[in-house]
Each structure stands twice: as C-alpha cells, then as structure tokens.
Structure 1
Amino acid sequence: MAETPRILMCPPEYYGIEYEINPWMNRGVASDPDESRRQWWALHDALTGLGAAVELLDPVRGLPDLVFTANAGLVYRDLFLSSRFRYGERQGETPVFDRWFADHGFAVEHTPDDHHFEGAGDALFCGDALLAGYRFRSDARTMQWVGDRLGVEVLPLELVDPRYYHLDTCFCPLAPDSAIYFPGAFDEYGRSVLRDRIRTLIEVSAEEAFSFSCNAVVVGRSVVLNAGAPKLARSLGRHGYEAVPLSLTEFIKAGGSAKCLTFRLDGEDAASWRSAATRAASA
C-alpha cells in the first residue's frame, strides 16, 4: 500500500502584497483576502480529497509570504535543511519554520551564513538527482554544498528569466524519469541537461507557463495546478496523468501557485529515496 502523502500548508490569514521582491509583485495590485482564503481552502480540500494528509502551520502577522511553505527548506528523510532567504522581507520566516520542524521530529540544519538557499522552491528531486535552480534566489555553490551534505548528485540549472525566479515556477518532476518544464526559463546548457537526464519531458508553452502551470503539486497520478492550461492537461492525459485545475490567481499576484503553497514532508513523489523508503516500509 502506498504511503499517505504528507503536506505542510499555512492558512493565508496574513497573506498580502506588502512588498515587491519579484516581477509579479505590485503593491498597487492588492490581493483579495476573502478570495485568497477561498482559493487556498479549495487547494487544501483538493489535496485531502486525493488522499493527502495536510498539516497546518500557524500563520504569523507580519509574514505575508509564510503561506508559501515550499520555500521553508528541503527535506531529506528525517533531515530538514532550512532556507537562507536572499531578501530580508522573508528572513523572519526561518525561525518559524525551524521551530515547526524541530517540534515534529526533524533534525534542523542550516547552510553556511553567506550561502543563499530557498529550499524546495529551487531544489527538486527527480529520481536520484537533485535538480537545483540558481541565480535569482539560490546560489550555485550552495546547491553543491547541499548535494555534498546529503550525498546526492546535483544538477545545477541556471534560471535566465526573472519571472521564473524559482525552479518550481518552470519545472515540476512527475516521477523519477519524467517531468514538465518551460524551456524558455533555462539557458541552452540547462535545457540540454534536462533532455539528457530525464527520459520523458513534457514541454509547457510560454502562454501556459505564464499562468504558473508548472507550479504544480503531484499526488500519485494527479497533478494539481492553476486553471488555464488546457494544452498541458491534454499532454498529461496522454502520459497517464490527470490534471486537477484550480483557480489560484490571488497567489499568482505574489509569484506563487499550487506548488509554492505546499511542502511535501515525506519527499516528492519523484524522489527515488522516497520511493525506496515507501517500499521498505510496506515490505
């Protein structure tokens, strides 16, 4: 029997556009608190409906982006590598996340002081390798440090379009040998690495990438993503996946969508180490 996916989310009680640290954020374009709550709970309910166990982090006034739990850090088995945010506006989130993970049985560690690292926003397992986005938020040298600490292979991928400032805005592993991606977010070398290392790559159009369709949550064969990506939905269907579209427009105003709003506590479905642990547990 497959292990129940465990996901950490934070209700959007204090979410809002209070500063501008990426091209999507504009303090003149406010989020609607009621609609934000409605969209967030629709995502929560969709995930629980797919069989995921969602755990909640208490929101904190003054930390509007705490809702984007994907940026908390990176989980590898029972280790939590905490993020070291590039922008001061988000650095207050770190002690909140650290306390939660320590209280829930994880060993908490940090990258060196001068190494920026924004967790599962930029570090995503696909099979045995850690795909590592860098330039806008995380540093390439930090990603190599993370790989050394975990004892895993790291494939650095330079991001070249500031609209896709985190790897999870333009790349989503589906399984150990497949992923969706927007080629325009990577340089030619990065595109060649992805083509060489991932057997099945589903390309997302520029129009649908702009609607954050790559920022998706994978639960088994279901892919939860922002509405407005019919071509990707058809492509996923041809590969045996079902798209679950939701309206998450209030969070796109801050540069995030379904994936940004979730943190897999048990490792992503596409991580080989998670699959091995699941097999061992069910043996």
Structure 2
Amino acid sequence: MAETMSPAIERTVPRVLMCAPTFFEVSYVINPWMTDHVHDTTSERSRRQWDALRDTVSRHADVALQPAAEGLPDMCFAANAGLVFGNTFVPSRFRYAERQGEEAHARAWFSRHGFDIVDIAEDVFFEGAGDALFDRGVSRRLWMGHGHRSDPAAASELATRLDIEVIPLKLADPRFYHLDTCFCPLVDGYTLYFPGAFDAASLASIEKHIAPHLRIPVSEHDALDFACNAVNLGKVVILNRAGPDLRSRLEGAGFMLIEVALDEFMKSGGAAKCLTLRLDEVTGV
C-alpha cells in the first residue's frame, strides 16, 4: 500500500494489515507455546507459510504491509499492534519488555496513514486486537480478554474512549493467553470459542450475550490447533486447521473454510488471526 493512502472507513472490500516475518524466530519465552521452541524455527518455512496466508487473505481483502523491524521477532503478529475502530487507532501497551519496542513502530505507521491516535492510561497494559474483538452481529459491542496480558482496567478505558459497550472476559488457561486464541466473532453473530479457556463467570457472560444457535464451541483438540485464531472476511473463515465436526458446523452455518498451515508460527503462540489486523473495523459487520 502506498504511504500516501489514508484509511477509508466506508469500503466494501475489507482492509487488513500484515507484517512480513523477516526477523521472526522464537528467541525468548513469554507464553507456554514458546517454551520448547527457542531457536526452533526456520526463516524459509515461516516465510512460505506467511506468503500462503497473505495470498489467501488477498483474495478476499486489500492487504497493507507494515515494515518489519530487526530485533522484534514477534512484530509479524500484527493483531497486537493495537485496536482499530473507524478512523481511531488505540496503540497497544505490551506487558513484556520483549515486545515493547513494537509500540513506536505501530504508532508511526498508523500516524503516517492518517489514523487518529487515542491512548489509554499509561499504567494499563493492553495488547490490542489480540485481546479486543468486535462482535460481528451486534452493533457497538467489544469483547475484551484479560488475565494474562491485558489488564481488566483496559475494558473501562476502551468503553470511555470508543463510546462502546465492552464485555470483559477472564482468561483462565495460560495456553490461551490472548482472547483471539480462544474466541472468534463471526459475521451474522456466530461465535467460535473454546469454553475451557474462560472462568465460570466469563463463560456465563458469553452464554448470556450470544444466543445458543449462534454459539459454536470448539473441542480442546481444535482449540490447540488454533481453530479459534481465525480470520473472518464475510462468509470466509481462514484458519490453521479445523476438525471434521467443526468444519461441518461452520459449513452448515454458511461459512467457507480455508485451511492454511501455520505451525511454524504456532511455536510462538500465534496463527492466522494473530498475523492480521483489520484496518476497517466497524461493529456489526
């Protein structure tokens, strides 16, 4: 995307930000997925998988690219740059020092491309669209995960700054450290989620706000294959892998599934959704 392009809010084609895995590797441990994979990735394999994801997303959306930065191996996980809502960008404030260097690069990119930068309080950790997901069936509703990376206080911060209803969800399983690893709102109000990732109160909140026929719970096996870490573009769902039962349920709801192998990135705790950030987020679509 040309540097002079500014964000267009009213578009029929989705816009997605990605960042090439030029410097991707597992060089530290900040989540359970990384524990056995330090220095266990290859640049050729990760680039091939990322290219396949970019090409797949490009068939259903306009893809913009953020330059990678040396020394920031997780910068390819674009979802964590921040949260986009209309023309507003809320930058992330990372919990771990290993990722804090990404913040200045994200702020600069979004400023160059004409977004309004809106900060939350300096003492609140918030990890962007990894932990903040817009409902795609109800207007002005945001689901926000907390418990491992983002602070609970981020919910009220986002509600105030974006003038939106925010429903906090406590993440109880460290393997699912960001909300987008275990929860995925889909168009028409459908929602993929792994019940075992949430505490009892949060699971009750999900069941209260999402009608039974719109809830698509996934098995632990599918969750560990990062089936919930999916990119939803209209009726297309792009993910690492889905078992036969989950595929049948999604296709029965009218979705077309596209699997893209992303096991190299799963060594760092991410897959399709983690590698993308919607640039045209408005609720209810």
8 Å CA contact 1:164, 1:170 repeated in 2: yes
Measure how far apart 1:196 and its partner are: 1.2
Matched, 1:172 2:184: yes
Matched, 1:97 2:106: yes
One of 197, 201, 215 as aligned partner of 2:215: 201
Give the distance between the partners of 2:11 and 2:250, measured in 1 at CA.
Answer: 22
Measure how far apart 1:109 and its partner are: 2.1
Give the distance between the partners of 1:19 and 1:47, measured in 2 at CA.
Answer: 29
Alpha-carbon displacement from aligned partner over 1:114-159 (angstroms, at most 9, x marks no partner)? 1000010001111221101001000111121111111111111000
Letter paired with 1:183 = P
Q: In the alignment, what sits opposite 2:70?
A: 61
TM-score by length of 1: 0.92
One of 25, 46, 52 as aligned partner of 1:36: 46
One of 139, 144, 161 as aligned partner of 1:132: 144
One of 263, 266, 269 as aligned partner of 1:255: 269
SS of match in other structure, 1:254: coil
8 Å CA contact 1:211, 1:229 repeated in 2: no
1:40-51 equivalences under 5 Å are 40-50=50-60
Measure how far apart 1:108 and its partner are: 1.0
Measure how far apart 1:191 and its partner are: 1.1
Give the distance between the partners of 1:111 and 1:2, measured in 2 at CA.
Answer: 27
Q: Which runs of 5+ in 1 are unaligned?
A: 276-283
SS of match in other structure, 1:75: strand
Matched, 1:123 2:148: no
TM-score by length of 2: 0.92
Root-mean-square deviation (Å): 1.4
One of 183, 187, 203 as aligned partner of 2:195: 183
Structure 1 stretch 147-156 or stretch 62-71: which is displaced more? 147-156
Give the distance between the partners of 1:253 and 1:113, measured in 2 at CA.
Answer: 31
Q: In the alignment, what sits opposite 2:157?
A: 145
Measure how far apart 1:46 and its partner are: 0.5
Deviation above 6 Å: which 4+ runs of structure 1?
none
8 Å CA contact 1:84, 1:110 repeated in 2: no
1:37 and 1:259, CA in 2 relative to 1: closer, same or farther beyond 3 A? same
Measure how far apart 1:71 and its partner are: 0.4
Measure how far apart 1:230 and its partner are: 2.7
Q: Which runs of 5+ in 2 are unaligned?
A: 1-9
SS of match in other structure, 1:114: coil
1:220 and 1:2, CA in 2 relative to 1: closer, same or farther beyond 3 A? farther
SS of match in other structure, 1:116: coil
8 Å CA contact 2:25, 2:39 repeated in 1: no
**Alignment length, in residue pairs?**
270
* Identity percentage of aligned residues: 46
Q: In the alignment, what sits opposite 1:211?
A: 225
Give the distance between the partners of 1:216 and 1:86, measured in 2 at CA.
Answer: 24
